[in-house]
Amino acid sequence: MFEFRLNKNVSIKDDVLSGLTVALALVPEAVAFAFVAGVEPLVGLYAAFMVGLITACIGGRPGMISGATGALAVVMVSLVAQHGVEYLFATVVLMGILQVLAGVLRLGKFIRMVPHPVMLGFVNGLAIVIFLAQLQQFGVANEAGWLSGTYFEGSVVDVAWVGGTELYMMLGLVMLTMAIIHFLPKLTTAIPSSLAAILVVSLLVIGLGLDTRVVGDVASIAGELPSFHIPSVPLNWETLQIIFPYAVILAAIGLIESLLTLRLVDEITETRGRGNKECIGQGVANVTTGFFGGMGGCAMIGQSMINVNSGGRGRLSGITAALCLLLFILVASSLIEQIPVAALIGVMFIVVMGTFEWSSFRIIRKIPRHDAFVLVLVSGVTVATDLAVAVIVGVIVSALVFAWEHAKHVQIKRKVSEDGSTVYDVNGPLFFGSVTDFSEQFTPKEDSDDVIIDFLHSRVCDHSGLEAIDSVAERYLAAGKTLHLRHLSPECRSMLKKAGDLVEVNVLEDPKYFVAVD
């Protein structure tokens, strides 16, 4: 059914230790995103456990970590505020069903359409989001036990910052954590450096009695096993009208973030995950968590990077992370709550440094200007809104640029043959972006009575191209001249005939290709 190890180079020890490291980092993230969504901390922790466990077992990318995320939380907050948490659970169930359908219909393959500049922008923007999210941890806790200020997908607004000795203490512990993570692998790789850093800094704080914020100051993580719970919402058309729009948005955001993270892990590990299987795994996980009181989730790039960089490559790493998180909730909450927040901030800062594509600064002047624009645009939109919007904007802009650039590539050469016929040789793709320029090149009044348009070096790419050919044919028919269309594919001829017998089509030496009309 599933395998614990991705390949022979993956070790069980590395998977277990990296999974433990990830579990420690999951605690504050899950709690934070639960507060963002306006639900109790355990709702986020349960989601991190269930989504992480199920996707690790049946998902399409071993080594990738899933759980509650900020990209989904910022969409959930308005639903919870207006209708309550029960509607959130129902929405998460429907979201999961939609994701399973996406996998069954094999829609995961469309992630291949994301251009590389969009991927770079996604990674850079997400690194900035993770960095900004950590800055909130330097705020002052309010009476509810959470940090004052407004959190929106990594942005921190109106936070009352800590100062004086407490600030210097936190900064010192963050730097110590980062130093251990950086230098320990040069001495030994027996234990993941992130896990070692968390343990060392925690023991230092406890042993010396240092006054600094710990996980327990953020929220209590103690709880029981999640129990089966059918969302308490009316099963009627009105409920569907409320939850369906949210479910569609959440399903799209979850799959986009998961599949892009899958591609990133593929590049780092030099292996290949299965996108459609991951869609189904994410869907099953969200359906399950919706029935067990969780807020749903998707792949987490930060935790996935911690896992991969700590040596986690197999499914056992994700399973270990989820089970350790459950143990923290059930029996070890008092110990986990003593971990300094600074240690976890240090781990995430290292993730930021490893996630950000620093080579972007080097190549941005060497790549085409439109690619550089897309890279910066996607990074900015990721920080300002969310990942899904950024990726969609990046793909649309890239597609428009592609269409504009290729619209310039259609060239038509006019000549007169030995028998006196006017011959037009078409070079380049004929599609919606180039049809205007194509149509403007023909002059029926100036041409001879016999006209040939040769498509030997052209390809009709879409229905707009066919309509443009029909339009030109009508012009020559109206001028009382005979038009021959040469080297058109059988499918093109078939589509032209469906448009009506407007012109005599005399086809010679047809190529065997098909126009993309679907």
Q: What is the pLDDT along the chain (518 residues), one digit of tens a residue?
A: 334 344 445 678 889 999 998 998 888 778 767 876 778 889 989 999 999 999 999 999 999 999 988 778 878 888 998 999 999 999 999 999 999 999 999 887 777 777 888 888 888 887 887 788 777 777 644 434 444 433 333 443 344 555 678 788 889 999 999 999 889 888 887 777 888 888 899 999 999 998 888 888 777 788 889 999 999 999 899 999 999 999 998 998 899 889 888 988 988 888 888 989 999 999 999 999 999 999 999 998 888 988 998 888 889 999 999 999 999 999 988 888 888 888 888 887 887 887 788 888 888 888 888 889 999 999 898 888 777 788 889 889 988 888 887 777 788 899 998 888 899 999 988 888 888 888 888 988 889 988 888 888 888 888 888 888 888 888 888 888 888 888 877 667 666 654 344 334 444 444 454 444 44
Residue 482, Cβ neighbours under 10 Å: how many?
15
CA distances 349 to 137, 194, 479, Å, are 12, 11, 72
- Contacting residues for 389 by C-beta, under 8 A, at least 6 apart: 381
| CA dist., res. 258 & res. 44, Å (int) | 18
Beta strands in 333-433 (DSSP E): 411-416, 422-430
Residue 411: DSSP 8-state: E
Residue 169: DSSP 8-state: H
Backbone angles phi, psi at 160, to 5 degrees: -85, 105
Residue 190: DSSP 8-state: S
Task: Please give the angle made by the CA atoms of 300, 305 and 307, to the nearest 5 degrees.
Answer: 95
Task: Please give the angle made by the CA atoms of 39, 45 and 50, to the nearest 5 degrees.
Answer: 115
Edge-to-edge strand list for the sheet holding 422-430: 411-416, 422-430, 450-460, 482-486
Closest to 221 measured CA to CA, from 292, 326, 306, 136: 326
Alpha helix stretches (DSSP H) within 105-163: 116-135
CA distances 420 to 449, 450, 452, 474, Å, are 9, 8, 11, 22
CATH of domain 409-498: 3.30.750.24
Report domain extents, the chain: 12-187+196-359, 409-498
Judged by DSSP in three states, 510 sits in coil
For residue 9, the model assigns a pLDDT of 54
| CA dist., res. 48 & res. 324, Å (int) | 11
Pairing of strands 411-416, 422-430: antiparallel
Residue 369, Cβ neighbours under 10 Å: how many?
10
Q: Are 179 and 172 a contacting pair, CB within 8 Å?
A: no
- Contacting residues for 122 by C-beta, under 8 A, at least 6 apart: 114, 260, 378, 379, 382, 387, 390, 391, 394
Closest to 157 measured CA to CA, from 174, 188, 133: 133
b/e burial code for range 103-117 (CB count within 10 A of at least 16 → b): beeebbeebeebbeb
Beta strands in 248-297 (DSSP E): none
- Contacting residues for 336 by C-beta, under 8 A, at least 6 apart: 24, 27, 215, 221, 328
Q: Which helix (H) or strand (E) holds 298?
A: strand 298-299
Q: Are 432 and 406 a contacting pair, CB within 8 Å?
A: no
Q: Are 320 and 306 a contacting pair, CB within 8 Å?
A: no
| CA dist., res. 154 & res. 385, Å (int) | 10
- Per the listing, tokens 């919007």 go with 389
Q: Are 283 and 96 a contacting pair, CB within 8 Å?
A: yes
| CA dist., res. 488 & res. 97, Å (int) | 44
Q: Give residue 87's Cα distance to chain centre.
A: 25
Backbone angles phi, psi at 137, to 5 degrees: -65, -10
Q: Are 325 and 12 a contacting pair, CB within 8 Å?
A: no
pTM equals 0.69
| CA dist., res. 488 & res. 314, Å (int) | 52
